[in-house]
């Protein structure tokens, strides 16, 4: 079973990326033909700083490898290293009704959040379809907010196949209901676009400051005011990082005003820092010699490119492009 997934390097990868996607990738690499790419073309929808994108792309690769992605077990590459994806993106655009894109809720949500509307943001699902179809992908692990994009991919592929035969495999989406959802520091979805993240590798002082200044239950104006953990953005972090005894301590201490909010946050701070320490140590190997990372990416890109060329050979032939 071929599984394809990717992450944008529009900013530093954060712990939401880890719990929402990368943790599942580490598991999938043991039991599937896993394709992982760093989606730097997609990142152009929101990041216009070339030097930042270059650094973020390398940093994302270091994070993947440091977290446990084994490049000998997966195909691991950078999206822009396989130019065939842009050719297929253009071909598929001719099989994408405008109404299909106009109904895409991700575009509407991002524009509503203040991200500038442009063609790349609008046609994002078509490039995602090219990513998926180029490599004969069978299963696409997604969050619930990305299901529609896989459905758009299916619609485009079926429309193309109706004209030219079974050129593309029709992918299925997979939503893991057991995936932990990490909210942002403000309680909204953790997202680079919203500036509410904790990076996978972040300075200890920065992490401490971010968590200590997180908003809490508005009812707790004073330490003596009882609160409700379910109304506090810190509580989901306890559910992920804290043991049962600590969670019980938080529930009792908050509801009965036995502990203050700063006191409540301290176990989360300690747990995040403890989790990041071995990651920082593994990443240092690649930071000391970035050539190691670039060579791994180059090998993966070559493997992905060969498959992409085979797909585009068939596409060009049926469309009369050579």
298 closest CA partner among 69, 71, 59, 15: 71
Query: Is the pLDDT confidence value at 322 over 80?
Result: no
- The upper half-sphere exposure of residue 31, i.e. CA atoms within 13 Å in the direction of its Cβ, equals 4
State pLDDT tens for residues 48-69: 999 999 999 999 999 999 999 9
Query: Is the pLDDT confidence value at 108 over 90?
Result: no
> What is the mean predicted confidence (pLDDT) over 277-286?
95
Tokens of 285: 């190997």
Give all domains of the chain, ordered by start, each with its CATH number: 2-182+290-319 (3.40.50.620), 201-283 (1.10.240.10)
Backbone angles phi, psi at 7, to 5 degrees: -135, 140
pLDDT for res 195: 87
> What is the mean predicted confidence (pLDDT) over 243-259?
97
Annotated active-site positions, please?
A: 110, 189, 192
Cβ atoms within 10 Å of 130's Cβ, excluding its own:
26
pLDDT for res 300: 98
Top mean pLDDT of 97-101, 111-115, 136-140 is at 136-140
> What is the mean predicted confidence (pLDDT) over 193-202?
90
* Neighbouring residues of 60: CB distance < 8 A, sequence distance ≥ 6: 7, 9, 13, 38
**What distance in Å separates the CA atoms of residue 87 and residue 91, rounded to the nearest whole number?**
6
Q: Average pLDDT of the chain?
A: 94
- Of the chain, the percentage scoring pLDDT greater than 70 comes to 99
Tokens 């050129």 belong to which residue? Answer: 167
* Neighbouring residues of 111: CB distance < 8 A, sequence distance ≥ 6: 117, 121
State pLDDT tens for residues 27-51: 999 999 999 999 999 999 888 999 9
316 closest CA partner among 16, 45, 58, 90: 90
pLDDT for res 84: 98
Query: Is the pLDDT confidence value at 189 over 90?
Result: no
Tokens of 154: 């299916």
State pLDDT tens for residues 264-275: 999 999 999 999
Residue 74 — very low, low, confident or very high, per pLDDT cuts 50/70/90? very high
Query: Is the pLDDT confidence value at 125 over 80?
Result: yes
pLDDT for res 62: 97
User: Any idea which of 139-143, 257-261, 280-284 has the lowest mean pLDDT?
Assistant: 139-143
pLDDT for res 146: 85
> What is the mean predicted confidence (pLDDT) over 157-184?
91
Q: What is the pTM of this model?
A: 0.88
pLDDT for res 155: 97
Q: Are 32 and 79 in contact (CB under 8 A)?
A: no
pLDDT for res 151: 97
Residue 259 — very low, low, confident or very high, per pLDDT cuts 50/70/90? very high
Q: Are 86 and 134 in contact (CB under 8 A)?
A: no
> What is the mean predicted confidence (pLDDT) over 98-114?
84
Sign, Cα dihedral of 212, 215, 218, 219: negative
Tokens of 118: 């442009």
Query: Is the pLDDT confidence value at 111 over 90?
Result: no
Q: What is the dihedral of CA 79, 83, 86, 88, to 10 degrees?
A: -110
Q: List, in sequence order, every residue forming a beta bridge with 77; answer none if it has no partner.
A: 37
């Amino acid at each position: 079973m071929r599984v394809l997934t990717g992450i944008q390097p529009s900013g530093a990868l954060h712990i939401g990326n880890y719990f929402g996607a990368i943790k599942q990738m580490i598991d999938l690499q043991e039991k599937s033909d896993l394709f992982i790419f760093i989606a730097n073309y997609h990142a152009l929808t929101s990041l216009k700083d070339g030097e930042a994108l270059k650094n973020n792309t390398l940093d994302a690769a270091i994070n993947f490898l440091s977290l446990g992605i084994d490049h000998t077990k997966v195909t691991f590459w950078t999206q822009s290293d396989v130019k065939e994806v842009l050719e297929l993106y253009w071909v598929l655009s001719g099989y994408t009704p405008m109404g299909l894109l106009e109904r895409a809720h991700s575009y509407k949500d991002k524009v509503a959040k203040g991200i500038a509307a442009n063609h790349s943001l609008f046609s994002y699902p078509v490039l995602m379809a090219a990513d998926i179809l180029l490599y004969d992908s069978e299963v696409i692990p997604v969050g619930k907010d990305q299901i529609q994009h896989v459905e758009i991919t299916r619609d485009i592929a079926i429309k193309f196949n109706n004209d030219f035969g079974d050129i593309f495999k029709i992918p299925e989406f997979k939503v893991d209901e057991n995936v932990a959802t990490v909210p942002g520091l403000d309680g909204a979805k953790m997202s680079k676009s919203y500036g509410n993240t904790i990076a996978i590798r972040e300075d200890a002082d920065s992490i401490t400051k971010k968590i200590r200044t997180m908003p809490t239950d508005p009812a707790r104006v004073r330490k003596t005011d009882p609160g409700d953990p379910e109304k506090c953005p810190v509580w989901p972090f306890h559910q992920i990082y804290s043991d049962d005894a600590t969670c019980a301590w938080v529930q009792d201490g908050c509801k009965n005003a036995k502990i203050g909010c700063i006191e409540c946050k301290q176990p989360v701070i300690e747990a995040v820092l403890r989790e990041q320490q071995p990651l920082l140590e593994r990443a240092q190997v690649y930071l000391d010699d970035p050539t190691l990372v670039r060579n791994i990416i180059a090998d993966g890109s070559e493997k992905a490119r060969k498959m992409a060329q085979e797909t585009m050979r068939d596409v060009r032939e049926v469309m009369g492009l050579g």
